[in-house]
Structure 1
Amino acid sequence: MAYFSGLTDALRLTFVQIMIFSTIAIVIFLYGMILNFQKWGAGVTGYALEPQPGSKGSAIRFLKTWWEQVVEESHHGHGKPILEVLILDIMFQRRILKRSPLRWFMHFTIVAGWMSLFALSGMMFAVEMIEKFGIELPFTPAEFRDFLSLPNYIFGYVLLLGVIIAVVRRLVVSNAREATIMYDWILLGGVFIVTISGFIADGIRT
């Protein structure tokens, strides 16, 4: 099966080429995560301070400490498990919702759109791998891709809406504009380019 490259319909990629590019991207992602885990596992001397001199971070130490804190009771007085706090405050961003509903909507649409598209891509990948192993399914990969086209469009527009709100907010709202650094613009610009290029590639393909 040949895959659309995102450039022209005539230029297509083979399954092996797609797997090579995907493997490279995954390796870069995992390497970055390991570096972050090592940095977080080094420990700090206080809030917003650097780790102790000579302290070497450990990804395993960080993950072990993190899991121990997840399963234990919170020490902040409310007695709720930290896992519950992580779900409400990180996944659903409860604290941001209390401060600014618009900012919460912006963050939630970006996270929900991005993660949903990631999940749909994972489902498509799983179906194609099953087909590669010769296991019969009640549908073909092409039929499954057509089935996913509508949710892909929906969550693509959800992501685009969140990115547009983020850009406009940083241009219009003075507090957000003053707090935005170049790293934020680079990250936001990257997400915007990836989102727009997806719509452009789909338009060229169809």
Structure 2
Amino acid sequence: MVCADREPALWRPDLLPSTVILDAAPAGAGNAPPLDPDLWPHVLNDRLLSDGRHLVLGDEGGSHSLWLRETDRGKPLAYVVPRDDGIELRSRATQRLEQRLSGVSPDRCPGQFRPTHFQARRLTLLLRILDMLQGERQSRPSTHEIARQLVYPRLAIGRGAEWKASPERRRTQRLIEEARSFMNGRYRFLLKGKLAGATKTSGPK
């Protein structure tokens, strides 16, 4: 099993705008210093593919995702920032990497995305709901079981007609729908630093 903290996923740059893209520096930029990622203290993931080298570099202030389109060692590189709807995030990620390469401390170069305590708890709850839903078909849990085990573990919830008419059932159903939509693509909002689009941020009801 691959541990996400030790070997994080490699995302396509169009899905993860915080990916820093580097390519061969154009003529006249010969003074650009070379970048050797092998000298980085913590390389969490490293794959050489047909379109270049994809890496995740560990850092105290948050990891850096890189796509090196030019893989020849020692050649000067230039940052490539596509002009699309992720340009602001791409620019911040590029600036942050450049600052770290220039010796700026991690505490002055924070990562792109940090959920609040409540947001992290809600995301964890959605993932736990998905884990329960992905069990064997014959043992898939009912809405009542999900509510009892995950959503309201400290609350004695009713059964039968009382449960069917309860606000706890309606909230659990909404969470199940949200978890499924998260699995079916909504998680991509997180990759773009848009937590509000990935999951609701209102408090518990």
Normalised TM-score (structure 2): 0.29
Normalised TM-score (structure 1): 0.29
